[in-house]
Chains A and B, each alone.
Chain A
Amino acid sequence: MPQLSLSVNARPVSADVEPRCLLSNLLREHLGLTGTHIGCDTSQCGACVVLVDGKAIKSCTMFAHQAEGCEVTTIEGLAGEGTLHPMQEAFRDHHALQCGFCTPGMIMASVALARDNPALDEAAVCKGLEGNLCRCTGYQNIIRAVLAGAKSMRGKHDV
């Protein structure tokens, strides 16, 4: 079985996984990082979004071996010691989740969106989250949270 090395949440990781192992399987089943959710497993819902070299991608639609040498960040990698990431904080403050199943993917997609777009507005949030489905909230509070989270990210460095 080919050996795989990458960085996950700033920690070096090596694993022996089959070629058909998806990045989502590696994270959940081999590394125990079950914050990354599998909603559809058909590339539609975005619950599995993580960052690979800073870019939001659907981890159910990438083989683990394609991430060889890459830096992967999951929802578990966002919070600091005892403090939530500003985007997580904003989702809590704005009641942007109900069941919470879509939330890890929503937050990872939103963090990338906020980093890439210094001037986010509502339309840009809607377009930026087109690949993330939520069955509960109706999206209104998610949009509010992303705008607020992006604003507080701008006030902080290294987030």
Chain B
Amino acid sequence: MYEFQYHRPNSLEDAAKLFDAAGDPQYLAGGQTLIPVMKQRLAMPSDLIDIGRIGDLHGITADKNALTIGAMTTHAQVASCDKVRESIPALASLANHIGDPAVRNRGTLGGSIANNDPAADYPAALVALGASVQTTSREIAAEAFFTGLFETALEEGEMIVKVTFPVTDCAGYEKFPNPASRYATVGVFVARTKERVRVAVTGAGLSVFRAGDIEAALETDFSPDALDGISISADGLNSDLHASAEYRANLIIVLARRAAAKANAA
């Protein structure tokens, strides 16, 4: 790993000042992606700004309409928080199946969505639940936030502060985990609010996307059987040593059925 300067600000203002003053800085959250990438020398920041001790980035609040989770909240905290388990249980369950316990004890919501790995779990939840991302300068709707392969709408130096999830009637998430990393080979999040259904797919494309045909079928009949006869085109889907595009296309339907069944049971 290349050398760098380390900073640990206690406020958003200090973090912004440090960022502006540094040559090629990067924020450090849980480090579960950034540290491995730095070891491979694929990232070589001049300065790491550790945002772990900034109070404004921590905490989970809930009211009857929405759940708000601070960017530095770890996957383990989301998984075990009663407020999350009561208002959006599918989100707690998703967090509980990211990586392994040690990864969940360090990795954070903010780090996961800032990184926007094509196989990450959280992007599917944000898009299906219609979440909004509050940054240090603005609010961004989830669908506008994830812009491409490892790309987001974040500008240079802009930091994610928290994410707000509107509470839904019911939701379910199912993934086919890579057996080694447990990243999603494919993951499908189904959410229903009033009569609207949103279905978001991760792991299958360059970035998370909504599955319109599945949404339409579930809006007519919110049951797994409503997906009988629907197929997804493999065009443009990821193909790698873990799974071909055709296999992923099929998984989308299989997992959507399971996610809908889970949402119905919730």
Contacts and interface: CB of A to CB of B under 8 A. Distances in A.
A141 interface: no
Contacts of A46: 100, 102
Nearest to A53: B105
Given A18-B3, A46-B100, A130-B182, A41 B105 contact: no
Contacts of B35: 22, 43, 61-63
Given A43-B36, A63-B31, A128 B101 contact: yes
A42 B39 CA distance: 8
Interface in A114-159: 128, 130-132
Nearest to A59: B102
A112 B100 CA distance: 13
B1 interface: yes
A99 to B, nearest CB: 21
Interface residues of B, number: 28
Contact of B39 (A41, A62, A65): A41
A37 interface: no
A19 B180 CA distance: 30
A51 B73 CA distance: 18
B3 A65 contact: no
Contact of B106 (A44, A62, A65, A128): A62
A96 to B, nearest CB: 18
B150 interface: no
A19 B38 CA distance: 13
A41 B36 CA distance: 8
A56 interface: yes
B263 interface: no
A63 B106 contact: no
Nearest to B5: A19
A57 B6 contact: no
A93 interface: no
Contacts of A29: none
A113 B81 CA distance: 17
A55 B31 contact: no
A131 B4 contact: no
A128 B105 CA distance: 12
Contact of A56 (B2, B6, B99, B105): B105
B139 interface: no
A130 B97 CA distance: 10
A19 B76 contact: no
B8 interface: yes
Contacts of A19: 3-6, 48
A20 B31 contact: no
Contact of B101 (A18, A42, A44, A130): A130
A58 B4 contact: no
Nearest to B32: A61
A43 B32 contact: yes
Contacts of A12: none
Contacts of B66: none
Contact of B3 (A20, A22, A61, A131): A20
22 contacts: A19-B4, A19-B5, A19-B48, A20-B3, A20-B4, A43-B36, A49-B102, A55-B76, A56-B101, A56-B105, A61-B32, A61-B35, A61-B36, A62-B106, A63-B6, A63-B28, A63-B31, A65-B50, A66-B50, A66-B52, A131-B101, A132-B100
5 nearest interchain CB pairs?
A131-B100, A19-B6, A130-B100, A55-B105, A58-B102
